[in-house]
Amino acid sequence: MKIATWDTRYALRLVVIAGMCVGGFTSAISHAQTPSGAVPVSAEPEHRIRFDNGKVRMYEVLLPKGKSTLQHEHNADNFQIFFNTSVVINEPQGGKQMSFPVPAGAVNFASATGKPYTHRVEGNGDTPFRVIALELLGASQAAAGSDSTKRPSPPFTVALENARGRAYRVILNPGESTGPFSRAANTAMFAISSGRISEQAEGRASRLWDFDPGNFRWNETPEKLSLKNESSARIELVEIEIY
């Protein structure tokens, strides 16, 4: 079932906006040895571990206006998924503060393997800044992962792709379905909105998932399936295939 033309344009527009806004989140971060006065991200109190399976680790950060993290160091490549339209201040240690808007549903990537970076972030909007950092704990398998079949567009829009993974955004109106597609192994799905979907995988009973913004699921094995919006409102999801 096809997504309405307006929603397709909306999705593409947000992807462009996301790239413009959140690029500054990592473009002005310092890359160096862990400096004094900083803590590892694992010891930063505003970074709460939501998931860790040895392959990926997910830190959630929620910052109302005026609340900030400590200066902290990242030493693993990571995708960032933003759940609220908000404003954030990014300050690299020893560098200049940058304040910029972040749209809900934006996806960003920061490289840290072999070149850790240190910064602090602060909420600066009327809506709390909310992000999940998806750390990649293993070595890249890009040679295998990048050959995975891309999902049909619409309804899937590629938001970001590099040697570590491919991020999709999908928007479905009530009753709409993605149609059949292939989901790769090692895929994380994040809810940007509230809603309910059904997942119909080949040879399996239909699965229902009720979610709120910030909820997520990890999919370990590949499968062929379709998603359908079972709720009364439009839903928005982000899925990231890890290479």
Per-residue pLDDT at 12? 33
Which of 103, 136, 169 terminates a domain? The answer is 136
Which of 136, 168, 201 terminates a domain? The answer is 136
* Tokens 């990048």 found at: 146
5: in domain: no
Which of 136, 160, 178 terminates a domain? The answer is 136
Asked which of 28-37, 63-72, 142-151, 174-183 is least confident by mean pLDDT, the reply is: 28-37
Q: In this structure, are 115 and 232 located in the same domain?
A: no
Taking the CA atoms of 194, 221, 154 and 129 in sequence, report the sign of the dihedral they define. positive
Residue type, 19: G
Q: How many residues does the chain have?
A: 243
Per-residue pLDDT at 147? 63
pLDDT grade, residue 82 (50/70/90)?
very high
CA–CA separation, 125 vs 141, rounded Å? 38
Task: Enter the pTM of the model.
Answer: 0.86
Buried b (16+ CB within 10 A) or exposed e, 43-68: ebebbeeeeeeeebbbbbbbbeeeeb
Look at residue 179 and tell me whether its pLDDT is greater than 80: yes
Q: Which domain holds residue 183?
A: 140-242
pLDDT grade, residue 203 (50/70/90)?
confident
Look at residue 30 and tell me whether its pLDDT is greater than 50: no
Please state the domain count of the chain: 2
Q: Are 50 and 59 in contact (CB under 8 A)?
A: yes
1: in domain: no
Please name the residues in contact with 216: beta carbons below 8 A apart, sequence gap of 6 or more. 50, 51, 58, 132, 188, 189, 190, 191
pLDDT grade, residue 20 (50/70/90)?
very low
Bridge partners of 99, per DSSP, are 89
